[in-house]
Amino acid sequence: MNAPTPIFAAADVVRLVTQSATGLGMDALCAAFPSVPRRTLQRHMAALVREQKLVLSGKGRGARYVVPTEKAVTTPHVYVPFSVQEPGADYPTEAYVPTSPEGEAIKAYVRQPRHLRKPVGYQQAFLEAYVPNVTAYLPPELRAQLHALGQSPAAHTPAGTFARDILNRLLIDLSWASSRLEGNTYSRLDTERLIAQGQVAEGKDAVETQMILNHKEAIEYLVHNPERARLTPDTVIALHAFLSDGLMADPMAEGRLRQRAVGIGGSVYLPLASPQGVQDIFGFVLEMATEIEDPFEQAFFLMVHLPYLQPFEDVNKRVSRLAANIPFIRHNLCPLSFIDVPQQAYVDAMLGVYELNQVELLRDVFVWAYGRSCQQYVSVQQNIGQPDMFRLRYRRPLGEVVAQMVRAMEPAAEVFVQKRVPVEVAQADRAGFIALVLAELKALHAGKAVRFGLRLLEVEGWLTLHYDASAR
């Protein structure tokens, strides 16, 4: 018996082509109408051209179908990363992100059942086709929008200043949002209580709690020492060690490139199996990333190629999301917290990379996510005044002295600070440095413990000894 002819609505394809200012090629159309065989689709497209409903422009692989001139859409597609829905708003169907026509085509393909999608393996040509500072996943006009959106008051200060200024907020937002994309059910309030007070949410299993705390430690690792915020194999492997702590079936796989083949649930993509190949390409990916000059292009490249390679047995996407923040930390740009990103949109976008080597849907998610993150930090940015250059100059010794005094259970008194002033503090600055330490100690509370590398119990013990709780 012959297979039934797939249903094909000409109006659907004309509408889809109309939505794209530059038209659509045959690959995008096949992805948008996956149940229609390619040759059948080509015949229908030829009929639409004969009927003058569409025009075929260009030749070969560059050929694209566009609407006739009198019907053409003349307004180019403009990315507006700050055009987002507010939290709690009613979505028409499902929580998603504004999607380009190319992204819609990818979404249509990956939403098919697995048996209708073509199994694929790792394509090294996808990586090799990228030439740093020549190839651009993010168009120049889009990068300009993102740069304008992400500027912070700390733009001309040492690397990592802005991330440290908003660290308490970033720890909660990024830990919660990144974990949520992995199915973690902690609420943002639960996450805040866990990070600030060490309070485990009721009804949550140990894995969810561990995942949140692992994010916290990984973020602190990057932010507390800007020298660590570099795109090196050691840094990325360290992020995996933090993020995978206690969550791997084999503890030996924590902080280690994978030694065996892995699969991806729900996908027809099969990552590279050779351990030596994984190691070589992992180094190559990071070498290419360091050559990329634009921080947004650099961040997006990492979000594409780290998960695509799957260099670790698990936790790859979490590593890529934190690694993508390294360029923002180094350039004092607004961080990417992934707050409110719909899980399904992110999953679809990654499947588009895995199975089609197409980045447009992930780009839609990235742009929306960055705009949403910047909205979250607008009020924080407005409340941050001009940086105190004296504090910046002595930030590290200031933190060290505060931590030393708390651990030694010494009171906030000048005589104790004087004994601990390090030699690197200039003689003329000693009085100001002592005053700064005393101010930090008098304003210390449990929520600031992470800033000084202190444990919550250390701060609470020091406060209990030296201050009457009711007076605080």
Of 383, 416, 432, the one marking the end of a domain is: 383
Residue 78 belongs to some domain of the structure:
no
The C-alpha atoms of residue 285 and residue 264 are separated, in whole angstroms, by 20
Query: What CATH number does residue 47 fall under?
Result: 1.10.10.10
Residue 5 resides in a domain? no
Q: Is residue 127 part of a domain?
A: yes
pLDDT at residue 78 in the model: 37
Q: Which residues contact 224 (CB under 8 A, 6 or more apart)?
A: 164, 453
Torsion angle of C-alpha atoms 353, 356, 358, 359, degrees rounded to 10: -20
Same domain, 400 and 379: no
Residue 94 lies in a domain: no
Task: Return the pLDDT at 262.
Answer: 94
Looking at the structure of the chain, the number of domains it has is 3
Q: CATH number of the domain at 298, please.
A: 1.10.3290.10
pLDDT at 80: 37
Residues 376 and 467 in one domain: no
Residue that terminates a domain, selected from 326, 360, 383 = 383
Tell me, what's the pLDDT at 83? 35
Token output for 331: 């350039």
Q: Strand, coil or helix: what is 191?
A: helix
Give the list of residues 6+ apart from residue 368 with CB closer than 8 angstroms, or none. Answer: 81, 84, 97, 98, 341
Residues 211 and 317 in one domain: yes
pLDDT, position 444: 87
User: Helix 167-180 to helix 188-197 angle, to the nearest 10 degrees?
Assistant: 130
The answer on 149 and 32 residing in a single domain is no
The answer to whether residues 400 and 224 touch, using CB atoms and an 8 Å cutoff, is no
Q: Are 99 and 83 in contact (CB under 8 A)?
A: no
3 within a domain of the structure (yes/no)? no
The answer to whether residues 124 and 155 belong to one domain is yes
Per-position b or e across 28-52, b if 16+ CB within 10 A of its CB: bbbbbbbebeeeebeebbeebeeee
Among the candidates 336, 360, 383, a domain finishes at: 383
Residue 450 lies in a domain: yes
State how far the Cα of 321 lies from the Cα of 25, in Å rounded to an integer: 31
DSSP assignments along 228-259, one per residue: G-S--HHHHHHHHHHHHTTT-SSGGGTTS---
Q: How far apart are CA 44 and CA 53, in angstroms?
A: 11
253 and 187 part of one domain? yes
With respect to residue 79, please indicate whether it lies within any of the assigned structural domains: no
Q: Both 217 and 149 in a single domain?
A: yes
Tell me, yes or no, whether 300 and 397 share the same domain.
no
Let me know whether 369 and 442 are in one domain: no
In-domain check, residue 426 = yes
SS3 330: helix
Looking up tokens 């708390």 gives 406
- 369 and 220 assigned to the same domain: yes
Domain extent, residue 437, equals 389-471
Are 168 and 282 contained in the same domain? yes
**Are 365 and 420 in the same domain?**
no
Q: What is the pLDDT of residue 439?
A: 85
Per-position pLDDT tens, the chain of length 472: 344 334 456 777 887 887 776 778 888 888 777 777 777 777 788 778 877 888 887 666 667 888 876 433 333 333 333 333 333 333 334 579 999 999 999 999 999 999 999 999 999 999 999 999 999 999 999 999 999 888 876 666 777 677 777 788 889 999 999 999 999 999 999 999 999 888 999 999 899 999 999 999 999 999 888 788 899 999 999 999 999 999 998 989 999 999 999 999 889 999 999 999 999 999 999 999 999 999 999 999 999 999 999 999 999 999 999 999 999 998 889 999 999 999 999 999 999 999 999 999 999 999 999 998 988 775 555 554 444 567 778 888 999 999 999 999 999 888 899 999 999 998 888 888 888 898 889 888 887 888 888 888 899 889 988 875 434 4
